[in-house]
Amino acid sequence: MVHSIDFKSIEGSDYKVLNMPIYEFRCNNCGQLVRLSFTYSEYDEAQPKCSNCESSDLKRLISRVALAKSEESRFDAMDPDSMLAGLDEEDPRSVGRFMRKMSQEMGEDMGDEFEEVVDRLESGESPESIEESMPELSEGPGDMF
């Protein structure tokens, strides 16, 4: 997972640079995922500790690296023809794959409820069945189905 604390724009570009990365560790003592931020110069001298058990027996995890794009750049990159290629609106698996692809393109966390719906669609469950078991989806504006 890519994290940042501060963004600094690159002039003339829609891309942004992460000023202060967040490093991820797994505590070998309690198993807790630990996220710590250091400047690049602090990292070499840092002595990270688990925020849960205070152990310094941590294993550094390799996280994905990405460039953050502006909303305009994300929309420009979404070619409607390629995004809709292979979409079968009658197949829940196809709809689930499409929804996951769109959320990844947007680069935003859509929340646990969205992830549950997409997982269930990708497993072949019908939208109607999901909606019946999650009535809050059909309440108010912006119904999911």
- Collapse the DSSP code of 103 into the 3-class scheme (helix H, G, I; strand E, B; otherwise coil) and give the result: helix
Output the six-digit token pair for 136: 């809050």
Would you say 136 and 114 are in contact if contact means Cβ atoms under 8 Å apart?
no
Residue with tokens 């500790």: 49
pTM for the model: 0.42
For the chain, give the mean pLDDT.
Answer: 76
Q: Per-domain residue ranges for the chain? A: 7-60, 78-138
CATH of 7-60, one of 2.20.28, 2.60.40, 3.40.50, 1.10.10: 2.20.28
Residues forming a β-bridge with 60? 25
State how far the Cα of 48 lies from the Cα of 28, in Å rounded to an integer.
13
What does the pLDDT look like over 85-129, one tens digit per residue? Answer: 778 888 999 898 888 888 877 767 788 888 899 999 999 999 899
What does the pLDDT look like over 62-82, one tens digit per residue?
876 656 667 676 666 666 666
Closest CA to 127 of 76, 118, 97: 118
